[in-house]
Amino acid sequence: MIVDDDPLVRAGLAMMLDGAGGITVVAEAADGDAAVGAVDAHAPDLVLMDIRMPSVDGLTATRRLRARRQPPEVIVLTTFDTDENILRALRAGAGGFLLKDTPPAEIVAAVHRVAAGEPTLSPSITRKLMDRVSTDADSYERARGAFAGLSEREHEVALAVARGRTNAEIAAELLMSVATVKAHVSHVLTKLGLGNRTQIALLAHDAGLT
């Protein structure tokens, strides 16, 4: 589903994505409030979400959608790449953050990847997160305390996830099956109270582990 208040942007994205293999645009919405209702009606696997929209903004809508029992994946697609927007989107549960000037082929690839449970960020966004240094001592202590509750194996898997490794890469590095990796990732998410792999990476960053 595509959520953007600009009908030309929605039309362009719909044309591009419908022409890509394995992707079908099932719905569109012009703001975050309409997006929530459209998800109820169409049950999309993934939502491309703009940030600045009338009524309910994209960050609020992302948080509401990701709080559901069976939430769709969300990629925030925007022109605004401020640190605050990036972090709010990822902490709200977005599995990706892309800029609208991202080449079409990369947007298509990101949709496939996030739909498969793998986070994705524009290269410039990744650099911003890598350059960001947390100065919040409380956040650091909370993050360190959260990771302290993991088993040694879960800690290893969580750090590999935070470094952007896929399940297959983690399995090869830690000498375990992909199924075992998936189980560990699920346990990590539950213990840390997180919604996706990107949030594991953010928490690891706050804890000074990456």
Q: Which residue has better confidence, 198 or 152?
A: 152
pLDDT at 133: 46
Q: Per residue in 78-94, pLDDT tens?
A: 887 776 788 788 888 88
Same domain (yes/no): 116, 200: no
Q: With 50 as the cut, is the pLDDT of residue 125 above it? A: yes
List C-alpha distances in Å: 13 to 17, 21, 52: 6, 14, 17
CATH number at residue 70: 3.40.50.2300
Q: Please provide the distance, in angstroms rounded to a whole number, between the alpha carbons at the two ends of the chain.
A: 33
What is the Cα–Cα distance from 2 to 29, expressed in whole angstroms?
6
pLDDT at 183: 94
pLDDT at 203: 86
Residues paired with 121 in a beta bridge: 97
Residues paired with 74 in a beta bridge: 47
Per-residue pLDDT averaged across 168-189, rounded? Answer: 93
What is the Cα–Cα distance from 41 to 72, expressed in whole angstroms?
13
Last residue of a domain, one of 131, 165, 183: 131
Write down the mean pLDDT value for the chain: 87
Percent of the chain with pLDDT over 70: 91
Q: Which of 16-25, 50-59, 117-126 has the lowest mean pLDDT?
A: 117-126
The pair of structure tokens assigned to 128 is 């911003």
Domain extent, residue 49, equals: 2-131
CA atoms within 13 A on the CB side of 152: 1
pLDDT at 181: 94
Same domain (yes/no): 116, 176: no
The length of the chain in residues reads 210
The pair of structure tokens assigned to 59 is 């960050």
Per-residue pLDDT averaged across 86-115, rounded? Answer: 88
What is the Cα–Cα distance from 143 to 202, expressed in whole angstroms?
9
Total number of domains constituting the chain: 2
Q: How confident is the model at residue 136 (pLDDT cuts 50, 70, 90)?
A: low
Burial of 158 (C-beta count, 10 Å sphere; 0-12/13-18/19+) = buried
Last residue of a domain, one of 131, 160, 188: 131
Same domain (yes/no): 76, 100: yes
